Structure 1
Amino acid sequence: MGQRTTVATTFGSAVRESVGSSLAAVDAELARRYPGDAGTRQPVHTVYVPADVFTAGTVREWGDRALAALDEHAPDAEAFAAVLGLPGELAGPVHERVRAKLEREPVEDLRIDFEDGYGPRPDAEEDAAAARAARLVAEAYADGTAAPYMGVRVKCMEAAVRDRGIRTLDVFLTGLMEAGGLPGGLVLTLPKVSYPEQVVAMARLAGEFETAHGLAEGRIRFEIQIETTQAILGADGRATVARLIDAGAGRVTGLHYGTFDYSAACGVGAAHQAPDHPVADHAKAVMQVAAAGTGVRLSDGSTNVLPVGTTARVHEAWRLHHGLVRRSLARAYYQGWDMHPGHLPTRYAAVYAYYREGLERAAARLVAYTERAGGDVLDEPATARALSGHLLRGLDCGAVGTAEVTGLTGLDRAALERLAGRPAGRGF
């Protein structure tokens, strides 16, 4: 007892040091390209609102309209569950949490759109709209009415609209600086990216703005929308998405699939353009592999089937949207687009049911892992990270409560963040 066992070895320290030296560049490259998840909250959706209709009351208006849709078309938990096919044990908790969410925080991520939803306008009109957007966003963060994440989608880097997009970005960011600085929840979206050089250009603009205003390098980051076939497969036959991420030099935060532009580019007819079409699945699979480990988040696209009209039509649209959201979640797309206030009830219903229905099982597996208690599933550290991340996403969006998770796992949020590999305290 207590005696140290001597074992025989062959490799000397010089060999180990030589191997380490030979792989130093690879170690650095892995750390640069694959830093892992940022550890911050990822919104469950993005709402796009044309710049000319965005107002100081847009977030609250979307919540009120969503609540009104529930009141009219599914006034209680049982009715809502019946429409969506939710099991009885989830009907009450999901309905209660959906209504609370719509009252408290109806929109998690809002993008003021200066691209397709806004269209071409006279320069003076778009200048004024961009300045107004900056003022309203700054005021919303100041008075506490902002969505957790807000920003703009400007026109793309293609020649015909490039100057206009750059100017709108400049007016918006400069307006925010004049109003007190860039808010923590700022998100910028670059659409219709086809070539890495366009991402390089956007990164250059971000760097130039930082230098001009004395901001820290890397403060301004942005999302890329995958809407062109060239973003998936280049003219040379090589996959392109990883090159787009790399071109951003650490500034790319997300990849958003553009359902309708990408489907149309592939020749898909209007009636079949949807997030579950095979061309969509192919594009998103490529995006997923390219982004894995990079810290770049993924977002699915949207459906253009709106829940409006008679109750029967609303129920049909709700079932479609709910099914699409569930499908995305199962495929590890934890974010998507919502195009209408009537989509909010089914967005949150799908998300909340997804996290609640597997809560006890996920918690039990995590307890077994942390206590090495065994069970019918032998989990790896990577699975423990995924289980912890799953619970944290449920906490972030309001699907589950802190006391509920701690009661089931014995772990507080800080412990979950450590297991998930998140920097502590960066959930929001």
Structure 2
Amino acid sequence: MRTSLDGSLLAGFARRMSGVDAERAARYPGDAGGRQPVHTCYVPADKVTDDLPAQWGAAAIEALEEHAPGPRAFAEVLGLPPELAEPVHEKVVAKLTGEPVEDLRIDFEDGYGLRADEDDDAVRCAGLAATLDVPWVGIRFKSFELFERGARTLDLFLSQLAEFPAGLVLTFPKVTSVEQVSALVELLEVLEDRLDLERGRLRFEIQIETTQSIVDATGRFAIPGFISAGKGRVSGLHFGTYDYTAACGLSAAEQHLAHAACDFARHVMQVSAAGTGVRLSDGSSNVLPVGDRDAVHAAWRTHFGLTLRSLTHGFYQGWDMHPAQLVTRYAANYTFYLGNAAADAKRLRAYVQKADAGVLDEPATAQALAMSMRRALDCGALSPAEVEELCGLSEVELGRLARRDTL
């Protein structure tokens, strides 16, 4: 049947759109794939030792046994549903024993300060990096307000690495302009050439902790420009709670993750990074679980609530500043994933089997369900056998759905 549109006209439109589609696909490749840590532990460089992960795990277990001994006591502190008390407690203890720290950032910035022996610490920590028992490890060097010092520490650390850890991560703090990102990219290119590394091997995460990293001087969102200037090297955006809230002029009592000012910044991060493969991390809580039992319980409830809040907002990673925060970091993750697992699995199974589950899910939602199951596997909330029992999918099949491949 003939239409009123000329074939050559349609072909011209198609050619134009193919270029647009190719550009979009390059800029928005989708999730990077693979595991994402649920947290980043920031430790001042002078405090880092070769047994630090084990020390943090032991300290977290000690705090748990002292202040909430057993599943029932633990559940009462955090307000866990009775059916989750034992599984959450059991999984937290197992995690703290087997892999207490997922991502360790050796800090040469705010937590470290200005010190005469920074060169020595950079070399010493480079010697420890490959031996630390963590999946991800790296440094946070000083901001480019102190360019020479930050660049020197970065150079020393990378140059002294005996081998490059597979999970090497670099953290770029207090970014305020595209020019700073471009300068770091050029610096990394020079270092890759001098260290005989493949081009693009050195990637970095940007800390979003200045107002200029949200809205630039022209009134535009700044993050898309940062990602573009990163030339494929930006791996993550990490929110900095206290520098950002202070920059907004909030009083000390209002500087916390649940403030609406932080929600605005995080939503900008989320929209700006969506589809780019750049992952998000929330910030930290400075309410530490130390002191008597009441103080520890109060801090745990604060951290647990904030971590759950981050998870529900789509931020699957956050900062931890104290060993005892590991207790509630994992408890919140396990509560979140175990609490949703049965309902998510039912919808996922129905989608795959094209059955009626009372909800008509689109491919994008099925992808989100699969990714949630994948994250539950990665952090230890569920085992492969438990996932297969719940939704009837193997790890391979789950991965394919998470990539929106057909089964």
Structure 2-normalised TM-score?
0.97
Contact 1:39–1:422 under 8 Å retained in 2: no
Displacement of 1:214 = 2.7
Structure 2 distance, partners of 1:13, 1:108, is: 57
Partner of 1:365: 347
Stretch moving more, 208-217 or 369-378: 208-217
Stretch moving more, 190-199 or 29-38: 29-38
Structure 1 distance, partners of 2:389, 2:3, is: 48
Structure 2 distance, partners of 1:308, 1:72, is: 12
Structure 1 distance, partners of 2:198, 2:11, is: 37
> Which residue among 215, 220, 233 is the counterpart of 2:197?
215
Letter in 1 for 2:389: G
Divergent runs of 4+, >6 A? none
1:162 equivalenced with 2:144 (yes/no): no
Structure 2 distance, partners of 1:272, 1:302, is: 14
Structure 2 distance, partners of 1:323, 1:283, is: 19
Counterpart mapping for 1:87-106 below 5 A: 87-106=81-100
Contact 2:177–2:212 under 8 Å retained in 1: yes
> Which residue among 198, 205, 211 is the counterpart of 2:180?
198
> Which residue among 137, 161, 166 is the counterpart of 1:184?
166
Partner of 1:394: 376
Structure 1 distance, partners of 2:191, 2:25, is: 27
Deviations 1:89-129 (A, max 9, x none): 0000000000000000001100000000000112xx11110
Displacement of 1:219 = 1.0
Structure 2 distance, partners of 1:414, 1:163, is: 47
Displacement of 1:23 = 2.2
How many corresponding residue pairs? 406
> Which residue among 138, 141, 144 is the counterpart of 2:130?
138
Structure 1-normalised TM-score?
0.93
Counterpart mapping for 1:22-421 below 5 A: 22-122=16-116, 125-140=117-132, 146-158=133-145, 161-176=146-161, 179-180=162-163, 182-421=164-403
Letter in 2 for 1:164: R
3-state secondary structure, aligned to 2:356: coil
Deviations 1:15-71 (A, max 9, x none): 443222212331222122101101021100010000001000111000000000001
3-state secondary structure, aligned to 1:52: helix
Structure 1 distance, partners of 2:256, 2:228, is: 29
Structure 1 distance, partners of 2:295, 2:385, is: 39
Q: Percent identity?
A: 56
Structure 1 distance, partners of 2:25, 2:158, is: 31
Displacement of 1:213 = 2.6
Structure 2 distance, partners of 1:309, 1:273, is: 22
Distance change >3 Å, CA 65–CA 422, structure 1 → 2: farther
Contact 1:363–1:408 under 8 Å retained in 2: yes
Displacement of 1:206 = 1.4
For structure 1, the residue ranges without an aligned partner over 5 or more in a row are 1-6, 141-145, 424-428
Letter in 2 for 1:274: H
Structure 1 distance, partners of 2:247, 2:336, is: 32
Structure 2 distance, partners of 1:172, 1:213, is: 12
Contact 1:37–1:422 under 8 Å retained in 2: no
Partner of 2:8: 14
Letter in 1 for 2:139: V
Distance change >3 Å, CA 27–CA 117, structure 1 → 2: same
Letter in 2 for 1:162: F
Structure 2 distance, partners of 1:12, 1:152, is: 59
Displacement of 1:212 = 2.1
Contact 1:38–1:422 under 8 Å retained in 2: no
Displacement of 1:10 = 5.7
Letter in 1 for 2:216: G
